[in-house]
Structure 1
Amino acid sequence: MHPAFSILFFTTLAGAAQGLVVALALAVLFGLGLAPGFLTLALGVAEVLLAAGLAASFMHLGRKSRAWRAVLMWRTSWMSREVIVLPGFIALVALWWLSLHFGAGAPWSWLLPALVLCGAVALWYCTAMIYACLRFIEEWAHPLTIVNFTLIGLSSGLVLACAMAALAGESRFVQLFGPWALAATLAAWAARGGALRRNAAIRHKSTLQSATGIRAEKLVQKSMGMSAGSFNTREFFHGATLAALRNMKLGFLLLTFVLPSLLLLWGVASGAVWPWLLAVLVQAPGLLAERWFFFAQAKHPQNLYYQVVS
């Protein structure tokens, strides 16, 4: 598949915001006693990330004025459900921020964190199911897609939350959630590695023989099937070489999981601020690379006809 950068930015920004809000909600529900200034600032950052992700998703639309029509198929479409859940989640985070800003007391002090926690989980599920429900793209059609969207978002959000807490002097938050950030990153690494191993072992149901009806034992594609580019060649194939794919996979594994895990271990052990900040800076490009590879590795069956240039 051809990775659209608007979707890369949307899924990574929204995922990190969801993880950040989950960390804040759990801290409040556990009675950690966060400073109001830190909590409102962190919620503001989450809201900015969500708004930026929403804006990025609009760039993917051909006719943006018709975006509202996406909600009409909510009974059958996971994308429609995501379009409904995302603004609702943004509204809940904004309402929580406003309740803190204007000093609203109970029951908002526990109800809104609980609601945004549920909203974050629902949004992860809806976003992941857009891809996991596509049975003809075998790299995506697996529960690991849902697990990876959730764990990677949780990892990036927890790392960001701990970095902000370390800067703000919220040492109790870092002490409690720092190990959880490391655990989430390691779990995301294990789940993503499992998905990579599974996808490498896939024997696709559709082959050149089944696509063309030619039963020859050895069949080799020599041309994309047309003399010039088309929608098919632009939207369903990334155009990168096998060497570029290998380098991208190595790069995102290092930047998203390996180096952040080492930095988080340093931060948990030393209590210093710099490891958390470095982890955020290192992980950010890794998240985009991971999501690019997620789309690029998926093999659409139509590429049996169009992916090779003679």
Structure 2
Amino acid sequence: MHPAFSVIFLTTLIGVGQGLFLALYTGQLYALANLLPAQSSNFYAVGSMVSLALLFAGLIASFFHLGHPERAWRAATQWRTSWLSREVLALPAAMGLIFLYGTVHFFDLTKPLFVISGTLPVDFSLIMGGLGTFAVFGLFLCTAMIYASLRFIKAWYSPLTVANFLFLGVASGFMLAAAFSAYQGTSLVGFYGTWAVIATLFGLLTRVATLYRNGQFRCKVDLKSAVGVHHSQLEQKAQGFMGGSFNTREFFHGRSQGLLNLIRYAFLLMVFVVPVILILLAYVLESETLPLLAFGIQYLGLILERYHFFTEAQHPQNLYYQSMA
């Protein structure tokens, strides 16, 4: 498939935003259980606004691959059958709940509403955070299933696609949380960095498994079965016309295998190896800049990873349209 950069930025930006919100809420829960030092409401408010800004940036990026952006609202009408429609509904729902979560902290409206078992104070931010968590996981599922539900794209039709979207989003979000904590001068860099490394390693396992799985595919159809001629030396010389078309532009990336291999090695290093090393060094050296560098490198690697994700998809129609005169 031809990678659309608007979709690449959509999926990576909202993934980071979702992961950052999960990191913030996880930190709040740990602090509530006295496993971490409590942070100021400003920490959660600013972090939520960063998460919301990333989600909004992803939403804006999505409009650039629409032929008629003014008709975008129609995408939500098929929610009963379309994962894309469900994503269109889940994204603003998650954004709304994250906005409420950040607003509650911004105005410091964290007075307990009630106490469970005499030990667990529940305030409005805890409720909004819980609802936001469900919305974020739902958004992860909807985004991934847009691709994982396509039976005719064998490279995507797998539960590994959902796992990759989830783990890479969580990893990048926690990595950003570590960088944000370092910037804010809090003591949560080690906590967020540790979970970022764990999520990154899980992402490495599922992504490598995906690469191995996709490398084993053997196409069940070929030129012989396409035209019904089973000659031993059948070879296509042209696709029937001299110019390009929608099919040649949108269903094939047009890149050499050598370049794709280079992109693969690059994203494996930038997403999974270098950030982990930098976070470990940041912990040892107590550096405030290395977490920022780790996130920056990992996000650039995620752009390459998502580009490679689209080029992995081999559309059956390319048996005909990929060969040009």
TM-score in terms of structure 1 length: 0.96
- Larger Rg, first or second structure (1 or 2): 2
Give distance in 1, aligned partners of 2:267 and 2:236: 31
Which residue of structure 2 lines up, in the alignment, with residue 210 of structure 1?
225
Unaligned 5+ segments in structure 2 are: 113-122
Distance across 2 between alignment mates of 1:198 and 1:185: 20
**Distance of 1:303 and 1:219 partners within structure 2:** 16
Per-residue deviation, 1:205:
2.6
For residue 261 of structure 1, what is the amino acid of its counterpart?
Answer: V
Displacement of 1:270 in angstroms is 3.3
Aligned-residue offset at 1:225: 3.6
Residue 148 of structure 2: aligned partner = 132
Match in the other structure for 2:169: 153
Q: Counterparts of 2:253 and 2:176 in 1: how far apart (Å)?
A: 31
Match of 2:42 among 34, 37, 40: 37
Question: Following the alignment from structure 1 to structure 2, what is the Cα–Cα distance between the partners of residues 225 and 190?
Answer: 43
Query: Counterparts of 1:1-310 in structure 2 under 5 Å?
Result: 1-30=1-30, 31=32, 32=36, 33-105=38-110, 106=112, 107-171=123-187, 173-310=188-325
Unmatched 5+ stretches in structure 1: none
Q: Distance in 2 between matches of 1:261 and 1:309?
A: 44
Is the deviation greater in 194-203 or in 275-284?
A: 275-284
Deviation of 1:117 (Å): 1.2
Q: Is the 8 A contact 1:26 1:113 kept in 2?
A: no
Q: Secondary structure of 2:91's partner?
A: helix
SS of the residue aligned with 1:59? helix
Over aligned residue pairs, what C-alpha RMSD do you find?
Answer: 1.3
- Cα offset, 1:287, TM superposition: 0.7
- The 2-side partners of 1:16 and 1:279 are apart by 14
Distance, in Å, in 2 between the alignment partners of 1:199 and 1:220 is 25
Q: 1:142-165, CA deviations, whole angstroms, 9 ceiling, x for partnerless residues?
A: 000000000011111110000110
The letter for the 2-side match of 1:54 is L
Identity of paired residues, percent? 45
Please give the per-residue CA displacement for 1:13-56, whole angstroms capped at 9, x wherever unaligned.
Answer: 00000110000011112224122222111111111100000000
Structure with the larger RCO, 1 or 2 (CA within 8 Å, 6+ apart): 1
Cα deviations by residue, 1:70-95 (Å, 9 ceiling, x for unpaired):
11110000000000000101111111
CA distance in 1, matches of 2:66, 2:199: 33
d(CA) in 1 for partners of 2:128, 2:176: 21
Return the TM-score normalized by structure 2.
0.92
Secondary structure at the aligned position of 2:81 is classed as coil
Q: Aligned partners of 1:170 and 1:129: how far apart in 2?
A: 37
Task: Give 1:218 shift.
Answer: 4.6
